[in-house]
Structure 1
Amino acid sequence: MLLTVVIGISLLALISAQQVPGNVAFTAAITEDRTVNAGNTIVFNTVLNNIGTGYDPITGVFTAPRGGVYTIAFNAVTQANSKVYVDLVHNDVYQVSAYGSSGWGSYATASTTLNLRLKKGDRVVIKARHTAYLYAEPKEIYATFTGFLVGLV
């Protein structure tokens, strides 16, 4: 349900961003299984949209192209007998976490969403707190990193 809401909000932001110059919206995804070691930035290498070109698919860093209030979201699925424990970090300062741990034969999800006041040039990343296993396939995208400008301040 939360994933549906986040995707719906992202699509609304994308449609609005195409109509108003200067808006910012991005969604990046992982399209293959990935293990990320503790402390490392998770790189979402498949860009679904990048209005304002703030997201870098090489580094996994979102750099705010303009100041304002942004909604930032992360979603992931981990496979059987695995876990995902990640932190959302703004300018090297911890903000919130997301955690999911699955038992044998089941999957688990982890997600978080928050609003952040960003200045132009501020950086936001998702980092693995512990070794994280992210489940994905090219036609089954579960791990996403999304952000969009809500308004100027």
Structure 2
Amino acid sequence: MAEAAMQAAPKIAFSASLSNGGEVYKGPCTDKILVFKRVFSNTGCCYNEDTGIFTAPVNGLYYFSSKTYGYNTHNTGAILMKNGVLQVSTFDFCGADTSDTTSNNVVLQLVAGDKVHLELWENGRVFDNHNAHTTFSGFLLFTV
């Protein structure tokens, strides 16, 4: 019986980068949601490449990771939001070096319908191109 329940668990995973072609600079801007357009995988179709929002289809524990890349002209990093509330973040001040990367990972307990996305910091900026420097990924670990 336990084996049948495991096989029935939904398969949910996505991975995307900011740019689906050419160079993309995002920020500073008023619409701070990062929309990742180059989708590598979207099993379960829970990541929306038009809005940048992942919507949990089932109650469970989910793993998310993010990475940003930016040049020294602006602060860089991102805020991982769950239903509009900051969960974890990355941040790097603009400085003397030429570029910066940030990354973070988190496991969140979500209920069906919860929404997760990444946002820029105020006056922040990130960069991406065909090398996929700025990414957002997530997957369901198990249902609860």
TM-score scaled by structure 2?
Answer: 0.84
RMSD: 1.9
Deviation of 1:21 (Å): 6.3
Larger-gyration structure (1/2) = 2
Structure 1 ranges of 4+ moved more than 3 A: none
Deviation of 1:122 (Å): 0.7
- The residue number in structure 2 matching 1:146 is 137
**Structure 1 stretch 60-69 or stretch 35-44: which is displaced more?**
35-44
1:64 aligned onto 2:52: no
Q: How high is the sequence identity, in percent, across the aligned residues?
A: 29
- The residue number in structure 2 matching 1:6 is none
Q: Is the 8 A contact 1:27 1:49 kept in 2?
A: yes
Q: Is the 8 A contact 2:18 2:34 kept in 1?
A: no
Judging by fraction of residues, say which structure has more helix.
1
CA distance in 1, matches of 2:77, 2:30: 9
Aligned residue pair count: 134
Amino acid of the residue matched to residue 62 of structure 1?
F
- Which sections of structure 1, spanning at least 5 residues, go unmatched? 1-18
The correspondence of residues 17-56 of structure 1 with structure 2, limited to 5 A, is 22-31=10-19, 32-36=23-27, 37=29, 40-56=32-48
CA distance in 2, matches of 1:81, 1:92: 28
CA distance in 2, matches of 1:106, 1:39: 26
Amino acid of the residue matched to residue 152 of structure 1?
T
- Which sections of structure 2, spanning at least 5 residues, go unmatched? 1-6
**Structure 1 stretch 120-129 or stretch 95-104: which is displaced more?**
95-104
Q: Is the 8 A contact 1:38 1:128 kept in 2?
A: no
**Structure 1 stretch 73-82 or stretch 41-50: which is displaced more?**
73-82
Which residue of 91, 97, 100 corresponds with 1:99?
91
